[in-house]
Amino acid sequence: MALKELPLVDIVIFGGHGDLALRKIMPALYYLFWQNHLDPRSRIFSTVRSDETEEEHRQLVLDKFREFHPDNIYSDETWSVFASQLFVTKMDISDAANYQPLANALNEFPDRERINYLSTPSSLFGDICTALNANGLITSKSRVVLEKPIGHNLNSFKEIDDTVSAVFLESSIFRIDHYLGKDTVQNLLALRFSNTLFLPLWNNKSIDHVQITVAETVGVEGRWGYYDKYGAMRDMVQNHLMQLLCLIAMEPPRSLESDSDSVRNEKVKVLKSLRKLSSREVAEKTVRGQYKEGVSCNKSVPGYLEDDDKVRESDTETFVAVKAEIENWTWNGVPFYLRTGKRMSGRFSEIVIQFKDVPHSIFPNDGKALEPNKLIIHIQPEESIRLLLMNKVPGLSQGMRLRPVELELNVVPDDPRSPTAYERLLLDVIKNDATLFMRRDEVEAAWEWADNILDTWHEENITVKKYSAGTDGPSSAVALIERDGRSWHEDS
């Protein structure tokens, strides 16, 4: 995008000295500026609770940038110009009477587009939006970015979103999920909808099952108070994993560019087709676990209950496995196995699409079964797409013995530095493109499906199963998939 085409924006980051703001949002804005995607006349305001001079604020942003981005690409000259765009405002963001200094600053340029990024707990979203409206800070060019998860169940989401929607139009509300900004996740759309090779195979006639795993080696890392209120189902499953499931299972949208609702319409159809599990099925098709002490990354680590000195009991799950099913013509009979957890044996996020076995094998292959074709999509820590195929072992003495080989489907980027997910999504906000953001009915459908499981866990007293830190979760998660004659994918 040429500089003259860039909109002039004022960006306000509420919770400007929080971990998310300093670790992700500010570096993303700097890189956008560095790549000429942010007009140097734009301004970035951070709201804070402590007394802070602008010079102290700018130094803190730089220090955190260097801490979290040690391989950063920047020059003192570029940083100096970017830093001149940074401003700080001390205020109690829950009190509308505190907004006057911010209002005075923003009203210097009343015609600019305004982006309000709420990098705060979702319980404050309503107060902030109400205060913005009370101070006349919402214009026809205003947008608001909401971090998920929003609320802790469907009712709390509706309550929060009703307050936000009372002052912002739906078209101006950007509910962000950073997973959708990752290159490989977006490449999934390209892979599916631009290749005739996959189009006729992407259904229950050719696909046996799908696995989606988001595994972390870390524990709650100082976020115990927050995490214990949410757990893995609210924090990860109804949030990130649901979005990945939608991108795999959605039908082709009408367009990716001319209509941002085209993609979101198809995602909603998937979520509304998710099978609602009965009480018996919740017991059979879900696993909830909680890590105990163990060895992670070659060092002894405490259990979840020891991560906070004040806690002795908690039934919050740090691991979830679910067998989900989509009731429509395309996916009926294809299970989607979802798995996420903390303190697992490795850190990775991946999607595995396993195709059905060949109807009949003509190869003796030393009596070994042929390995089914798999499309393996790694989202983190490294992004890659691989297609697992069967091929003959070279040589005369091997006969017709087969072995799996991998076809790499990765594009070498022109730029050695890969943009972060927050860069892509923030640029979409600046460009007012909501394609990769959640619409209200989409979030409602995800919460409705998750709430059914959460409520059943509570009503039926389905307790967490303990697993040692540094493992792949409770043994019942292995049994969940092995009962169907399948197994979790493991890279050799």
**In whole angstroms, what is the distance from residue 156 CA to residue 122 CA?**
10
| Annotated catalytic residue, options 17, 37, 57, 240 | 240
φ, ψ for residue 114, nearest 5 deg: -120, 130
The three-point CA angle 269-384-33 to 5° equals: 85
Distance between terminal CA atoms of the chain? 43
Residue 383: closest CA among 409, 345, 404, 354 = 409
Beta bridge partners of 146: 118, 175
Tell me if the bond preceding 149 is cis, omega within 30° of 0: yes
Q: Distance of alpha carbon 434 from its chain centroid, rounded?
A: 16
Q: Are 209 and 249 in contact (CB under 8 A)?
A: no
How far apart CA 374 and CA 383 sit, in angstroms, is 17
Considering only CA atoms, which of 153, 157, 94, 158 is closest in space to residue 128? 94
What is the residue type of 210? Answer: V
CA distance 25 to 116: 12
17 is catalytic: no
Q: Which residue has the tokens 């299972």?
A: 249
Which residues does the annotation mark as catalytic?
240
